[in-house]
Structure 1
């Protein structure tokens, strides 16, 4: 039996969260076309007869412009130093960037085994995959590589077969029925934020943070009451999130409530308040409070 932690790292929008969800068969991490969707370190647990694989999804490694960006990058670097194996994800359909170069340097400094995972295999020709592999091999040494498509499932079983032998020997670290160890308040906050991202296409997405204040349970009624605050940086953004006659926040709340009810199998009462916190992305103390569970 083998078990261990595997970091899933890469620049924004390379498909880290999509891969995590595809491998676990569950929605562990929210997915959006917008960069820097992932802000927590989220773990998905795979149970195989011969191994338990704990995949750690991380924020996209990028050129930071504010305290939030610095914090997210620190989460990536911290994860790299805490795991047994690193999956370095690179989008095979795009050119190598400075972000890829800097992340490769961080991985090299860790002295940990690394597998190169070229994503979005379904979107490119074999020649492009070969070119991407050769380009990455010039900036980092990796033990092995594979091209995958999380959306079609191509290469996923082979990826697992390459991960397992590289994990340390040892018993499983989590119960066999557990697919994530993320706290429920984190899951709830991320689901709410996902609905904001998916419904609003203007200046708001990067300026949105969600804080779950408290959760109250009524076992007799199979009811969960969730009280959360949605933070934006400007009054104009608050108006967008609320929408005309409260239409947008109602839509966001309904979508989040429905998914939370599906997730928990319980009725959900969801209270959402939209607040303005000017320039919160530049305030380290606020960032650490919001992402205290990360």
Structure 2
């Protein structure tokens, strides 16, 4: 009998939610960088194993809001808990828990069910620290299981499917069995361009950028897609940095993005990137809507 399990992945920024989503899906559906707040909207990864379809919802990291965009991201993470059969909350293997994490745990104590996933065990030197974290998380008494994984090398990841399976509901699958995400190709393309900007640029600029695909057109006469992308930033000075001396930075971003986009689409791509200024868009409700950050 076919069944589906809807799973929310929540946790602090940079805890590895997107890396785990990509590992479990076996495809790159979520962009990954070492910078916090890389994930801005809810991203869906789909894995079908025989009769069971697992639908993973990778949410933005929970953190204190500094602007209207941050507030929408945190609302998206909170709203995801209501839509799922089970929540996987990811934790660092050691260190203090943040206020945002403790707030999320309180929400899980009222709601449920949930599984605690301690990630990054490949980085840990101290077995005692990990045992301490496991005890601490178990003491919250809102998790049905506490497991340890490494999204980087795959340790313990496959076992998560066995844990998640019992939370499923019988009924037809929501997605085609060969689907790996519900994100439109245009959105995936925009995210890949933003990922490269995050990877190559200094800390303060990338969070002030948004990427929108303005044209996505297959050529009728050959296997080629023309893609035009607008990169929006908040300051004129940022525009100069994104373009770089003689256009070098923009070329670097576009070239790296094009390679990933061609791999994703399985076809040659002609990618053109343009940089435009939209002052303080992260605090402008209308611009947030226009740039695709709808309220959850």
Give TM class, smaller chain.
over 0.9
SS, match of residue 83 in structure 2: coil
Q: 1:117: which partner in 2? A: 117
Runs (4 or more) in structure 1 with deviation over 4 Å come to none
Q: 2:85: which partner in 1? A: 84
Query: TM-score normalised to the size of structure 1?
Result: 0.95
8 Å Cα contact 2:149-2:156 kept in structure 1: yes
- Structure 2 distance, partners of 1:249, 1:81, is 40
Structure 2, unaligned runs of 5 or more: none
8 Å Cα contact 1:203-1:237 kept in structure 2: no
8 Å Cα contact 1:40-1:291 kept in structure 2: no
8 Å Cα contact 1:12-1:60 kept in structure 2: yes
8 Å Cα contact 2:32-2:195 kept in structure 1: yes
Q: 2:9: which partner in 1? A: 8
- Structure 1 distance, partners of 2:272, 2:187, is 16
8 Å Cα contact 1:96-1:136 kept in structure 2: no
- Structure 1 distance, partners of 2:34, 2:74, is 19
Counting matched residue pairs gives 293
SS, match of residue 155 in structure 2: coil
8 Å Cα contact 2:37-2:60 kept in structure 1: yes
- Structure 2 distance, partners of 1:172, 1:221, is 35
SS, match of residue 156 in structure 1: coil
Q: RMSD between aligned alpha carbons?
A: 1.6
SS, match of residue 53 in structure 2: strand
- Structure 1 distance, partners of 2:159, 2:83, is 24
Q: 1:131: which partner in 2? A: 132
8 Å Cα contact 2:18-2:58 kept in structure 1: yes
- Structure 2 distance, partners of 1:235, 1:113, is 47
TM-fit CA distance, 1:93: 3.2
SS, match of residue 226 in structure 2: strand
8 Å Cα contact 1:101-1:139 kept in structure 2: no
- Structure 2 distance, partners of 1:202, 1:130, is 34
- Structure 1 distance, partners of 2:134, 2:37, is 24
Quick check: 129-138 or 50-59, which moved more?
Answer: 129-138
SS, match of residue 236 in structure 1: helix
SS, match of residue 78 in structure 2: helix
Structure 1, unaligned runs of 5 or more: none
Q: Deviations over 1:204-239 (max 9, x none)?
A: 121111111231222431221111111111111111
TM-fit CA distance, 1:98: 1.0
8 Å Cα contact 2:10-2:17 kept in structure 1: yes
How does 1:1-294 map onto structure 2 within 5 Å? 1-109=2-110, 111-124=111-124, 125-139=126-140, 141-292=142-293
8 Å Cα contact 2:138-2:146 kept in structure 1: no
SS, match of residue 250 in structure 1: helix
8 Å Cα contact 1:93-1:120 kept in structure 2: no
